[in-house]
Amino acid sequence: MSDSYDPAAVQRFAELLWRPGDVREVRILDLPRKATASGYFDDPARLAAAVAPYDGKGNMFLTYNPVDPALMAREQGDRIAEWAKLTTSDPDIVSRRWLYVDVDADRPSGVSGTDAELAAALDVARKVTGHLHDAGWGWAMALMSGNGHALVYPVDLPNDEESTRLVKGVLRHLQLFDTDKAHVDQSVFNPARISPLVGTLKVRVAPSRGGRIDGRSWCSSPRGSIPWRRISSDGWCRPGSLRRTTSSTPAPTPRRPPAGSG
Rounded to an integer, the average pLDDT of 150-175 is: 94
Q: Is 2 among the domain residues?
A: no
Residue 85 is predicted with a pLDDT of: 92
258 within some domain: no
| CA distance readout (Å), 54 to 27, 51, 143, 176, 249 | 11, 6, 21, 38, 44
Q: Is residue 253 part of a domain?
A: no
Residue range of the domain that includes 156:
7-208+217-247
Burial of 237 (0-12, 13-18, 19+ CB in 10 A): buried
Q: How many domains, the chain?
A: 1
* 116: in domain: yes
C-beta neighbour count of 46 within 10 angstroms: 15
**What is the average per-residue pLDDT within 115-140?**
89
- pLDDT score of 225: 47
Quote the pTM value: 0.83
- Cβ atoms < 10 Å from Cβ of 11: 18
For residue 261, tell me if it sits in a domain: no
Please indicate, yes or no, if residue 155 is contained in any of the structural domains.
yes
Residue 225 in any domain: the answer is yes
In a domain, 233, yes or no: yes
Average pLDDT over residues 174-191: 96
Q: Which residues pair with 63 in a beta bridge?
A: 194
Residue 140, pLDDT > 60, answer yes
